[in-house]
Structure 1
C-alpha cells in the first residue's frame, strides 16, 4: 500500500498543528474540541509528527531567553504574563517561523539531529517529507539512510530509485551517495536510480553536480542526465526525457524505441521473479509503448501481439522472451 504525502503540504500542516497546540496550551479543550483534535491527529502521520514536535518545543521553552522569543515572534514587548498565556501568543504570532516563537531554535535543533532508515517493498511507492521541507518519492525495492548534521544534509541510497525535490539551502548542501558516485545540490528536482552496474541521474529542474569515485564529474541542468559506472567514472551529460524516466511515480513504464534487452531489465525491477530475454536478434528488437508497473503480466500478454516473440515459462517460475 502506498503512503502518500500529506495533500495539504508541510507548511499548512505545521500551521494547523500550531493552532491546535495553542488552543490546548491556553486551557483544557472542551470535549467536542478534544474529539476534533483526535480526528485531525489521526488523519495523517504527518499531523501527529508536527504536533509532537511542538510538544517537545514546549518543554524547551524555559531554556530560551524570553527576549529571544519576542524577537522571533516580531511582536510588541510582552508584558509580564503567565508562561502559558505568553507561549500561546508566541504560537499565534509565529506560524511563519515554524509556528512557534521558539520554533526557530526547536525545528533547527531537530533538523541537525535527524537520522532515519527507509525502505520500500516490491511494488510499493512512498512519498514523504524531511524536516527541512525536502520531499522524497521512493520507488519499489528502495533502501536509503537519511543523515542531517550541522553542515550537510546527506542521503545514502543503497538500493532502488528516488525522486528528490530538495528545499533550497545554500548553507547546507544536499548530498546523495549512491554506488560509486555522489550528487550534490542546494535545491532542485532530480531522480537517482541505483542499478547493479551503474548509478543513473536525471534532472527535471535546477542543477546538480555528479561526481565519481575517480574524481570525474559532470554538471547537469534540467533535461540532462548522466551515469556513474562500476569503476566510478562519470559519463558526459546527455539529453533525457525526465517525464518518461520518472513515469514510475504514476505507476507507468514508458518505452520509446527501447531495445527489448533494456525493456526486460526495467520490467524485472517490478517482478518477484526476473524476466529474461533470449540473446541475439530477440534482445535487439525495439519497443515503443506504455504499460502499468503494477501489472507487468499484462505487458507479457501483450508483447506477442506487438513483436514477433513468445513468452516461455521456466521451471523456477520466471519467464523468458523468445523468438516466435
Structure 2
C-alpha cells in the first residue's frame, strides 16, 4: 500500500522544473489542493493562470471532474488514495457521502486529489489533446525577490529582464508567444518571428509585438509601456494605440489609454543600471517601485500626496536616503519605525 507521503511526493509544486505538460499538471494539482483556502489575491492569480493558456483550463477541468468522481466514494472507506481509485473502479453504483465534515476535511482532500491524479493518469485524460490545439513548446514561471534583478533567455531566443519583486508567466507554442506580467516590471528584448506574435499582458492590458525592445511597468493604478526599439501595439478595453521607439503610454482600467507621449530613452531601462530616473512622475508610482527594492515598507499618507509630481534621479543602492531626499524635495515629513517609513504632509502649526 502506498503511503500518503509517497503519493504527495509526486505532486511537485516547484513551478520551475519538468516538461511543459508535466508542469501544467503539477500547477493544476496545486491549485485544486488549495482551492478552498484561496484569499482574494490568490483567486486573481488562479483566474489569470486559468486564462493564460487553454491547456491550463483543459487539464484543470479534467482533474476537477476526476475529483468529483473520487469524492463520491464513501468517506469511511477512503483512507488511502490507491484504495479510493480501486473502490471507484469496482463500484457499480457510487453513493454520495453524507459526511460533510469529513468530505471537507483538509487531509481527506489531499487524499482525494492524489487519487484523482492517479485516476486521470490511469484513464489517460491528461494526455488527450483538444482538436486543433497548438501544443505548448515551453511554459515557465519567472519570479524575482525584493531588490533582485534577473535576466532570462526564453526558448525562442528572446531575453527578459525582470525588476525586483516581479512575477512573469511565459507560455510559448508554435503559433503564439504569450507572457503575463503579474507584478513588478519587465524589459523585453524580442526576437522577430512573424509567424508567432509576441504578446505581453498585464492586468487587462495586452501588448503585441513582432520584434522590438520595450519595458512594461505594473503600477498601482495603471500599466506603463515604453518602447526602446521597434513598434508595439497596446490594447485595453477594445481601444488600440501604436507606439514607436522613444514613446510611452499609460493604460488605466478606469480611464483607458492615455495619450502617447515622448520619453527620454535613458528612462526606459534605467533600473537595470541601478538608477531610477523620473520625469514628472506621481509620488505614488515612485513609492510603489521603491518598495520593490526595499525589504521594509514605504507608506504615503495624506490627501493627494501620492499625486505630487517628481522629476529626479535616484540610486537603488540606498533606499532610505532616497526617502529622505523625496521628503525634502516635496516638503514632506518622514517617520521611521524599524523598516517602515511614513511620508506625510507637515503637521499644521496652530497659532494663538
> What band does the TM-score fall into relative to the shorter chain?
0.5 to 0.7
TM-score normalised by L of structure 2: 0.54
For residue 142 of structure 2, the aligned residue among 108, 113, 118 is 118
Q: Confirm or deny that 1:163 pairs with 2:187.
A: yes
1:207 maps to 231
Q: In the aligned structure 1, how far is the partner of 2:284 from the partner of 2:139? A: 38
Q: CA deviation at 1:285?
A: 5.5
Unaligned runs of 5+ in 1: 1-110
Q: CA deviation at 1:276?
A: 2.9
Helix, strand or coil at the partner of 1:193:
strand
Cα gap change, 1:314 to 1:320, in 2 (>3 Å): farther
2:208 maps to 184
1:223 maps to 246
What does the per-residue CA deviation read over 1:153-173, in whole Å, with 9 as the maximum and x for residues that have no partner?
111111111000000111111
2:319 maps to 296
Unaligned runs of 5+ in 2: 1-134, 348-352
Q: In the aligned structure 2, how far is the partner of 1:296 from the partner of 1:316? A: 11
Q: In the aligned structure 2, how far is the partner of 1:286 from the partner of 1:185? A: 31
Q: CA deviation at 1:265?
A: 3.7
1:147 maps to 171
Q: In the aligned structure 1, how far is the partner of 2:326 from the partner of 2:243? A: 35
What does the per-residue CA deviation read over 1:61-105, in whole Å, with 9 as the maximum and x for residues that have no partner?
xxxxxxxxxxxxxxxxxxxxxxxxxxxxxxxxxxxxxxxxxxxxx
Q: In the aligned structure 1, how far is the partner of 2:310 from the partner of 2:235? A: 32
1:310 maps to 333
Cα gap change, 1:322 to 1:129, in 2 (>3 Å): same
TM-score normalised by L of structure 1: 0.59
Q: CA deviation at 1:194?
A: 1.7
**CA RMSD after TM alignment:** 2.7
What does the per-residue CA deviation read over 1:30-80, in whole Å, with 9 as the maximum and x for residues that have no partner?
xxxxxxxxxxxxxxxxxxxxxxxxxxxxxxxxxxxxxxxxxxxxxxxxxxx
Q: CA deviation at 1:306?
A: 4.5
For residue 266 of structure 1, the aligned residue among 276, 281, 289 is 289
For residue 198 of structure 1, the aligned residue among 215, 222, 227 is 222
For residue 264 of structure 2, the aligned residue among 221, 226, 241 is 241
Q: CA deviation at 1:148?
A: 0.8
Helix, strand or coil at the partner of 1:183:
strand
Q: In the aligned structure 2, how far is the partner of 1:320 from the partner of 1:305? A: 11
For residue 152 of structure 2, the aligned residue among 121, 128, 153 is 128
Helix, strand or coil at the partner of 2:340:
coil
Bigger drift between 111-120 and 231-240 goes to 231-240
Number of positions where the alignment pairs a residue of Structure 1 with one of Structure 2: 213
CA contact (8 A) 1:312 1:322 kept: no
Q: CA deviation at 1:116?
A: 0.8
What does the per-residue CA deviation read over 1:241-300, in whole Å, with 9 as the maximum and x for residues that have no partner?
342142111111113344544443432332234323343586666544322123211213
Q: In the aligned structure 1, how far is the partner of 2:329 from the partner of 2:270? A: 21
Q: In the aligned structure 2, how far is the partner of 1:232 from the partner of 1:132? A: 35
Helix, strand or coil at the partner of 2:208:
strand
2:21 maps to none
CA contact (8 A) 2:160 2:188 kept: yes
